[in-house]
């Protein structure tokens, strides 16, 4: 059977994360195993509209497959306009995911905006396998309080002994936390150099990586999840090329030294 | 190995066309193109501008049909059709070898290989290089360097036929009435013809792989990007270019289509939300050249350029595609 034929998945739950972002829970209709790693992605089909790459937001340590979808274009709009019970197509998982076996103890996870969706998979994975990862800190920044995802989970991360820093670009009276850049949060963490996982806009990735290297992190221990336009997901269509690499197969997670020239 | 007299070629193709679709270069509105053949005069002088890659990776094709059924979906795939392509040249054959490696890398592209496996290739070696040809400078051609079902070389009064696969041998065995025994002189004649072709190529175009690589290294991509008219023609005639997009057609039932795309157009790498990692035409041109001369060789072990010269023929900006010098 063709690699391009998707598996079918029913939407079992839709939750609102921000005014334009939704958390969609899926159940695969073939009831067969779907194993994945934090940092991998799937190609999601809305039949009649097309297909687009979406990173997996849930952790493989938990039962439900979840995708976090922001209204950004034709297909993402099509996905979030679906209702519970509607059927989508899923291909994958694709991509390399975060190299959990290679990541050193003491991990900083830094996300900016919707880039945090893929990192939530890693955070919850670490929460469920807490012993293996040493000190862990999460730094997450969004535009405003309303744009912050997964707010109901921060507490459970702290309870698992994870240092959680949250910041917004624009504060208001309802926000009592930090206002400013993600890099400022990193200054507050007391954590010796290990590995890092970053996802966000290129400016934010560069600023965070620079800050981490100043703190003694090696550029090859800083892992960046890259966003690219994709059509096939399997290294053929060439849309996602980053120099010699295909973000869909060689990535989307790259060590910073491999991609800093294109950021 | 066998000798096929000139006058028996068309009867042989006619016989084969009973069994499968025969595609061959014919004149359509005065222009040679690879098209379904049913007895039209063959146009074998020049390699057509559109490569026969079209029969493996069409401009548009249906990957599968989706059919809605009580809120869920079922899928239908089309099967490959038996076909023989006559007159594919060594450069286009080489390009297929590159595509085989790209589309054959894990996971294999079923749609491409369905067509590849159901197609018999009969190649025609080049006795006379085209105006822009430079395959020999890249280290292969004008004779087939890849395995091919049958390869023909035009010699005096006919063709020397060499088989390279069971499908090719079968054609020779099943139709012995068309072929004559070969002699040593036929082989010598072939070597001589191809030697002349090489010489002709070398005398009209001075170009080398190190020279091209050097030009890529030194090129002023910003200036070249301003010269380029962003038409994408070079990518649509290139036998190695294979960028594609995937689109749906039809609600609630419909077709998931694969359509050819080109990395030289600005929308190619643009993401939902508007961010575009290759924003300038110069960036995109540089990526095109690096892909052909660095990235594809890294992935497949073969160059991503086959020296067919088609991109030079169609360039609307009349750029010198190989010296990459900017005209002032």
pLDDT digits (tens, 9 = 90+) for A154-179: 999 999 999 999 999 998 888 989 99
Query: Which of A110-114, A218-222, B74-78, B199-203 bottoms out in mean pLDDT, i.e. has the lowest?
Result: B199-203
A 6-35 residues with CB < 8 A to B: 8, 29
Name the helix (H) or strand (E) containing B117: helix B110-117
Last residue of a domain, one of B142, B173, B205: B205
B 103-132 residues with CB < 8 A to A: 103, 105, 107-111
Q: Which residues of A touch B100 (CB under 8 A)?
A: none
Q: What is the pLDDT of residue B204?
A: 67
Q: Which residue has the higher pLDDT, A127 or A188?
A: A127
Taking the CA of residue B135 and the nearest CA in chain A, the distance in Å comes to 24
What is the complex's ipTM, to 2 decimals? 0.90
- Spatial neighbors of A23 by CB under 8 A, at least 6 apart, are A13, A14, A15, A16, A17, A57, A66, A67, A68, A69, A149
Q: Do B75 and A5 touch (CB under 8 A)?
A: yes
Q: Reduce the DSSP state of residue B120 to 3 states and report it.
A: strand
Last residue of a domain, one of B138, B172, B205: B205
Q: What is the pLDDT of residue B288?
A: 95
Which tokens belong to B4? Answer: 């096929």
Q: What is the pLDDT of residue B314?
A: 92
Q: Which residues of B touch A86 (CB under 8 A)?
A: 71
Assess B79–A contact: CB distance below 8 Å, yes or no.
Answer: no
Q: Do B272 and A73 touch (CB under 8 A)?
A: yes
Q: How far is CA A170 from the centre of its chain?
A: 22
Q: Which residues of A touch B299 (CB under 8 A)?
A: 244
Q: Are A223 and A108 in contact (CB under 8 A)?
A: no
Assess whether the region A7-94 and the region A107-262 belong to the same CATH fold.
Answer: no
Distance CA B161, CA B168 (A): 10
**B146 and B39, same domain (yes or no):** yes
* Mean pLDDT within A43-67: 96
Q: Which chain A residue has the Cα nearest residue B65? A: A5
Q: What is the pLDDT of residue A107?
A: 94
Q: Are A96 and A162 in contact (CB under 8 A)?
A: no
Q: Which chain B residue has the Cα nearest residue A245? A: B295
Q: Do B277 and A242 touch (CB under 8 A)?
A: yes
Which tokens belong to B67? Answer: 């059919």
Which range marks the domain in which residue B37 is found?
Answer: 2-205
Assess B61–A contact: CB distance below 8 Å, yes or no.
Answer: no
Edge to edge, the sheet with strand B244-249 lists: B72-76, B60-69, B254-260, B244-249
Q: What is the pLDDT of residue B129?
A: 85
User: What is the residue extent of each domain of chain A?
Assistant: 7-94, 107-262
Last residue of a domain, one of B139, B172, B205: B205
Is residue B322 in a domain? no
**B76 and B147, same domain (yes or no):** yes
Low-confidence ranges of chain B (pLDDT < 70): 204-206, 328
State phi, psi for B95 to the nearest 5 degrees: -60, -35
Q: Are A106 and A195 in contact (CB under 8 A)?
A: yes
Assess A81–B contact: CB distance below 8 Å, yes or no.
Answer: no
Q: Which chain A residue has the Cα nearest residue B297? A: A244
**Tally of domains in chain B:** 2
Size of interface A-B (CB pairs under 8 A): 114
- Spatial neighbors of B208 by CB under 8 A, at least 6 apart, are B137
Which tokens belong to B87? Answer: 């007159």
CATH architecture classification, A107-262:
3-Layer(aba) Sandwich (3.40)
Q: What is the pLDDT of residue A104?
A: 75
pLDDT digits (tens, 9 = 90+) for B201-259: 877 666 888 889 999 999 999 999 999 998 999 999 999 999 999 999 999 999 999 99
Distance CA A145, CA B281 (A): 39
Nearest to A241 among B261, B271, B287 (CB): B287
Alpha-carbon distances, residue A36 vs A24, A58, A225 (angstroms): 17, 10, 16
Assess B59–A contact: CB distance below 8 Å, yes or no.
Answer: no
Q: What is the pLDDT of residue A134?
A: 87
Nearest to B246 among A1, A50, A262 (CB): A50
**In the 8-state DSSP scheme, what is residue B180?**
B
Q: What is the pLDDT of residue B300?
A: 94
Q: Do B245 and A237 touch (CB under 8 A)?
A: yes
Taking the CA of residue B257 and the nearest CA in chain A, the distance in Å comes to 9
**B47 and B180, same domain (yes or no):** yes
**B158 and B12, same domain (yes or no):** yes
Q: Do A235 and B250 touch (CB under 8 A)?
A: no
Taking the CA of residue A246 and the nearest CA in chain B, the distance in Å comes to 10
Q: Do B243 and A237 touch (CB under 8 A)?
A: yes
Q: Which CATH number fits domain A7-94: 2.40.30.10, 3.90.1640.10, 2.40.50.40, 3.90.1210.10?
A: 2.40.30.10
């Amino acid at each position: 059977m063709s690699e391009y034929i998707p598996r079918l998945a029913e939407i079992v739950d839709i939750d609102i994360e921000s005014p334009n972002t939704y958390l969609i829970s899926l159940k695969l209709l073939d009831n067969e195993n779907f194993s994945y790693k934090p940092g991998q992605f799937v190609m999601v089909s809305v039949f009649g509209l097309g297909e687009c790459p979406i990173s997996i937001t849930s952790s493989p340590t938990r039962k439900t497959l979840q995708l976090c979808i922001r209204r950004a274009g034709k297909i993402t709009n099509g996905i979030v306009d679906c209702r519970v019970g509607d059927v989508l197509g899923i291909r994958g998982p694709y991509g390399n995911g975060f190299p959990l076996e290679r990541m050193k103890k003491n991990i900083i996870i830094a996300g900016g905006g919707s880039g945090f969706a893929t990192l939530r998979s890693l955070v919850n994975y670490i929460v469920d396998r807490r012993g293996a990862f040493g000190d862990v800190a999460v730094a997450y920044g969004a535009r405003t309080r309303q744009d912050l995802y997964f707010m109901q989970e921060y507490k459970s991360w702290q309870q698992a002994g994870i240092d959680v820093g949250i910041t917004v670009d624009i504060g208001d009276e309802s926000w009592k936390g930090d206002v400013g850049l993600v890099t400022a949060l990193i200054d507050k963490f007391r954590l010796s150099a290990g590995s890092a996982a970053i996802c966000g806009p290129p400016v934010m990735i560069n600023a965070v990586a620079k800050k981490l290297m100043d703190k003694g992190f090696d550029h090859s221990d800083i892992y960046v999840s890259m966003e690219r336009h994709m059509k096939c997901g399997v290294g053929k269509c060439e849309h996602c090329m980053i120099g010699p690499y295909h973000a869909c197969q060689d990535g989307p997670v790259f060590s910073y030294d491999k991609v800093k020239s294109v950021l | 190995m066998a000798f096929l007299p000139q006058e028996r070629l068309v009867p042989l193709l006619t016989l084969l066309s009973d069994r499968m679709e025969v595609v061959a270069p014919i004149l359509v509105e005065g222009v040679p193109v690879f098209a379904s053949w049913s007895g039209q005069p063959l146009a074998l002088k020049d390699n057509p501008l559109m490569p026969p890659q079209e029969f493996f990776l069409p401009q548009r094709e249906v990957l599968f049909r989706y059919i809605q059924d009580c809120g869920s979906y079922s899928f239908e795939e089309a099967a490959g059709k038996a076909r023989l392509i006559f007159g594919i040249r060594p450069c286009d054959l080489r390009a297929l070898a590159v595509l085989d490696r790209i589309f054959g890398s894990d996971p294999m592209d079923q749609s491409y290989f369905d067509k590849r496996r159901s197609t018999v290739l009969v190649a025609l070696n080049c006795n006379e290089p085209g105006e822009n040809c430079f395959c020999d400078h890249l280290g292969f051609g004008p004779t087939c360097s890849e395995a091919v079902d049958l390869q023909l070389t035009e010699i005096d009064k006919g063709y020397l036929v060499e088989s390279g696969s069971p499908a090719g041998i079968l054609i020779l065995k099943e139709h012995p009435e068309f072929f004559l025994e070969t002699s040593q002189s036929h082989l010598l004649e072939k070597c001589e013809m191809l030697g002349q072709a090489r010489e002709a190529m070398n005398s009209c175009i001075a170009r080398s792989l190190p020279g091209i690589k050097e030009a890529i290294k030194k090129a002023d991509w910003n200036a070249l990007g301003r010269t380029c008219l962003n038409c994408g023609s070079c990518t649509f005639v290139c036998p190695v270019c294979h960028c594609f997009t995937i689109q749906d057609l039809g609600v609630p039932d419909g077709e998931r289509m694969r359509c050819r795309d080109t990395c030289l157009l600005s929308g190619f790498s643009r993401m939902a939300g508007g961010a575009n990692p290759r924003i300038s035409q110069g960036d995109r041109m540089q990526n095109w050249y690096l892909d052909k001369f660095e990235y594809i060789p890294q992935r497949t072990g073969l160059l991503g350029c086959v020296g067919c010269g088609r991109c030079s023929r169609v360039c609307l900006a009349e750029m010198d595609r190989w010296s990459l010098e900017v005209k002032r």
